[in-house]
Amino acid sequence: DGGITQSPKYLFRKEGQNVTLSCEQNLNHDAMYWYRQDPGQGLRLIYYSQIVNDFQKGDIAEGYSVSREKKESFPLTVTSAQKNPTAFYLCASSWLGTGELFFGEGSRLTVL
């Protein structure tokens, strides 16, 4: 099936640890995105990438890092510098210029 796969679905981390969330798509989309969702806050853009080996910061990039070595993959690392990392993280992809985003099922990160 074509779609976007995020893993893991649930993740627990101790303070001071980095964690990497995986996002893979087989839709042949050019662009990929990471959003963070908090209760009552909607979805906020962390990073996005329109092409391999290139990415741009979104509205809340501090404490996060990404890479885009392959068209299909866009992993997000939540670093220890992120002050409030507990959240629901959503990955999305799209064809360039269409506007429509296709979302994965999300990864819920809890920092203990």
From the CB of 65, what's the least distance to another protein, in Å? Answer: 18
Cα 21 → chain centroid = 7
DSSP string, 36-48: EEETTTEEEEEEE
DSSP string, 43-72: EEEEEEEEETTEEEE-TT-TTEEE--SBTT
Which lies closer to another protein via its Cβ, residue 80 or residue 101? 101
Query: What residues make contact with another protein under the rule CB under 8 A?
Result: 4, 6, 31, 33, 35, 40-45, 48, 50, 56, 58-59, 90, 92, 96-106
From the CB of 80, what's the least distance to another protein, in Å? Answer: 26
Beta partners for residue 89, in sequence order: 36, 107
From the CB of 70, what's the least distance to another protein, in Å? Answer: 19
Which lies closer to another protein via its Cβ, residue 18 or residue 98? 98
Which lies closer to another protein via its Cβ, residue 30 or residue 80? 30
At 73, is the secondary structure helix, strand, or coil?
A: strand
